[in-house]
Amino acid sequence: MILATLWLLVPLIALAYHYGPGQERLALEHTDDLLAESQAAVADENWPEAIRLYQDALAKLPKEKTQISRKIQLEIAKAKMQNSQLPEAREELAALAAEIQSDPYASPELKQQVTSTLANARYYMTYLMKLEGKPDAEWEPEIEAARQEYKLLAQNSQAGSKHLLDLEATIRLARATPKELYGLPIPSQ
């Protein structure tokens, strides 16, 4: 009798799991599928598709998965930088960096990645502003922020030599005149 009662409860338990924790698991599996598609689009350099897929994955992700959410936001910003949406990506990166810096539980690796990507975005924004002939007052805060971020990364990173090279490039860019930049290929990201 007890065995029969327990056997009849199995569908009830399965139903409870399906509508409870099972929904989160389904959402995570769907998010993983979208992330795999996103990475394939990045490998194919299909930036608009990668952005769309990353945004879809972010929308499907449960709200409490903040670390994964931030990684996806970083990847969206990187794809936007490659898709000629540098100003928008730079703004999103600045907001993400501020959010991560205020979170004591954020992973140090993610902080470093976001800071590095933000410094790159600032560098390229400065490069473009100088090419456009913008006044010093507009581009100097960007390049100074990039310089400080690269310096911080060089001091706190095992890959310090790469960040030192980035720091040197930032200093050279700050000193360069627009005439010196004309005719040069825009540095690759």
pLDDT tens-digit map of 5-63: 656 555 655 555 555 655 566 666 777 788 888 888 889 999 999 999 889 888 888 88
State the chain's mean pLDDT as an integer.
83
Predicted TM-score (pTM) of this structure: 0.80
Of 11-15, 77-81, 165-169, the range with the highest mean pLDDT is 77-81
Q: How far apart are CA 81 and CA 88, in angstroms?
A: 8
Q: How far apart are CA 18 and CA 94, in angstroms?
A: 39
Return all residues near 105 (Cβ < 8 A) that are at least 6 apart: none
The pLDDT of residue 10: 59
CA distance 75 to 79: 6
Q: Which residues contact 19 (CB under 8 A, 6 or more apart)?
A: none
Neighbour-count burial of 73, counting CB atoms closer than 10 A to its CB (0-12 exposed, 13-18 middle, 19+ buried): buried
What does each C-alpha distance from 39 to 28, 107, 109, 129 come to in angstroms?
Answer: 16, 22, 20, 31
Residue type, 133: G
Question: What's the burial of 9, exposed, middle or buried (CB within 10 Å: 0-12/13-18/19+)?
Answer: exposed
19-27 long-range Cβ contacts below 8 angstroms, 24+ apart: 24/62, 27/60, 27/61, 27/62
Distance of alpha carbon 98 from alpha carbon 115, whole angstroms: 10
